[in-house]
Amino acid sequence: MKKPTFLTAQWRKLIMANYLVDAKVLKKYIPPHTQLDSYNGKYYVSLIGFMFMDTRIKGFKIPFHINFEEINLRFYVKYNSGENQKRGAVFISEVVSKPMIALVANTLFHEHYEILKTKHSWERFEHHQKISYQLKKKQWYELSVSTGLEARKIISGSEEEFITEHYFGYTKAGKNKSLAYDVEHPRWEIYDVKDFTIKADFEDLYGADFGFLNHAEPSSVFLVEGSDVLIRDGKKI
């Protein structure tokens, strides 16, 4: 039986910058009872910026917490439920500017939200669009892309499919427990990126374990159009 709905929203214009990472870096972050998920034997972390829009918690809109940016760093795991393998994401950090969102997610879902200043811009031109997300910690950091105007279907078996097709979230919920929650959305379409900018101090944002990303080139960068999403209440595993 499916868990009750916790949150509904739109996730729109998701920039995904994906980096190869040594499995040893991620070992201490893996929630109990899950294991790293790989694509062709390779492991990834993704820097993602996007908009939450029309956000409702338990069916209610919270004033001033309806439309806002999120920038996160995540990696990928899978959980063998006994029936099938459930592929999901684990978040190293999630940044928003809305304190209630952070409080609820950190308290109920054991997530790692941080409250910082954020902003975004969506610009549409005759032949291209520019999407940008920014956050401020030590200084202002930026994740932005320029793409065409036509989205395409994701190719089966591709790296893009691996990155986007994770429909569960997992977090540590104690020494030997994890919390798992369903994330439901249709299969997404993506835009091919013509140009991108990543200005970030990963060590400042995510700690020394991820400082190597300051000198790394992403394996891929793409823009996802996004859709309505539904997140269900979590359950312990």
Helix (H) / strand (E) containing 72: strand 68-80
CB atoms near residue 81 (< 10 Å): 12
pLDDT in tens, 71-120: 999 999 999 987 789 999 999 999 999 999 999 899 989 999 999 999 99
Helix (H) / strand (E) containing 235: strand 235-236
Query: Average pLDDT in the 21-35 region?
Result: 97
> Hey, CA dihedral for 94, 114, 227, 179, is it positive or negative?
positive
The CA distance from 177 to 193, in Å, is 39
Q: DSSP string of 157-224?
A: TSHHHHHH---EEEEE-STT-EEEEEEE-PPPEEEEEEEEEEE--HHHHH-GGGGGGGGPPPSEEEEE
Identify the CA nearest to 149 among candidates 49, 223, 218: 223
CA distances from 154 to 15, 34, 159, 192, 233 (A): 15, 26, 9, 10, 28
Query: Average pLDDT in the 206-235 region?
Result: 98
pLDDT of residue 175: 87
pLDDT of residue 99: 92
Task: Grade residue 28 by pLDDT with cuts at 50, 70 and 90.
Answer: very high
pTM over 0.85: yes
Asked whether 113 and 72 are in contact (CB, 8 A), the reply is no
Task: Grade residue 209 by pLDDT with cuts at 50, 70 and 90.
Answer: very high
Q: Can you state the percent helix, strand and coil of the chain, rounding each to 5?
A: 15, 55, 30
pLDDT of residue 33: 96
pLDDT of residue 82: 75
pLDDT in tens, 143-163: 999 999 999 999 999 999 999
Query: Average pLDDT in the 213-227 region?
Result: 98
pLDDT of residue 95: 98
Task: Grade residue 184 by pLDDT with cuts at 50, 70 and 90.
Answer: very high
pLDDT of residue 84: 85
CA-angle at 71, arms to 88 and 52, nearest 5°: 85
pLDDT at 1 over 90: no
Identify the CA nearest to 94 among candidates 82, 85, 102: 102
Q: What is the mean pLDDT of the chain?
A: 96
